[in-house]
Amino acid sequence: MVKIPGMDDLKKMGTGLIDSAKSVKIGEMVDKLKSGIESTVVSKKSVVPQSSEAVKKLFEGLYAELDLLKAEQTKMANSVKKIQDQLVELANAFDAMSSQSEEKK
């Protein structure tokens, strides 16, 4: 048999998640990660040797993969930030619902 949590339990869980996120400061970590990625990848100029066609193609392939990796890491950082914002909204919704239920008592 599965126990369905009540509103108070859900509020405690949401508040706990928000408190954890605030204490760890996820938003700041995401911003630092994003700026670090951008500064290391964007500022570097591609250096491709011109001596051998095979080596040149390998370097071009490596730089293309680095660009893909940078794009994926940026997406991940943005996703973490979005989840953090949604947790804040969820906690605010629980607070509002809790306030309404306490007013009815």
Cβ atoms of 94 and 3 within 8 Å: the answer is: no
User: 10 in a domain, yes or no?
Assistant: no
Give the chain's residues under pLDDT 50.
Answer: none
For residue 92, tell me if it sits in a domain. yes
Residue 17 within any structural domain of the chain:
no
With respect to residue 6, please indicate whether it lies within any of the assigned structural domains. Answer: no
pLDDT at residue number 102: 74
Whole-prediction pTM: 0.45
* Amino acid 100: pLDDT: 80
| Residue 18, domain member (yes or no) | no
In a domain, 13, yes or no: no
For residue 77, count CB atoms less than 10 angstroms from its CB and return exposed for 0-12, middle for 13-18, buried for 19 or more.
buried
The number of domains in the chain is 1
